Amino acid sequence: MAPAFSQNAAHKTTQTGPSVSADKAKMLCKAWMLDSVEQFSVVHAANTTEKADGITFMADGTFFVTWEGVASTGTWSGNAAPYINTSTGTPAVKKMYKLLSLADGRLVLEYQTEDLIRSQYIYKPKK
């Protein structure tokens, strides 16, 4: 699976919708394709099941994501900067991603599993 980043714990948010700065929202809110994954300081290009993976953040607080070829939708908020909180499915699966880097040509999100394994997902804008 190629999630962006997570901490499934009892992180509570009270705000709805994004609250990142206008400049960051402009850079973030577009379609991103997974380029590579870094785990244990080793970077690997997206594999065959991840080749079509990507995430699209919308300014209204919704997002579209494909992880290992499976499409899903949900909501996001950026109220705990530098974290992005997501919620998908029924019942809601909540995940928190750490925004490590954001530029016009690159998005890096970190996901931490419950057993404390961290993975960095490097995205490039979809062409």
Domains and CATH numbers, the chain: 22-125 (2.40.128.280)
Residue whose token pair is 């062409």:
127
d(CA 119, CA 10): 20
Longest Cα–Cα distance in the chain: 38
Mean predicted lDDT score pLDDT of the chain: 81
Alpha-carbon distance of 88 to 64, in angstroms, equals: 10
Bridge partner list, 84: 97
- Measured from the Cβ of residue 65, the count of other Cβ atoms closer than 10 Å reads 22
Q: What is the pLDDT of residues 25-48, one digit of tens each?
A: 888 999 999 999 999 999 999 999
pLDDT score recorded for residue 97: 86
Question: At which residue do the structure tokens 């919708």 appear?
Answer: 17
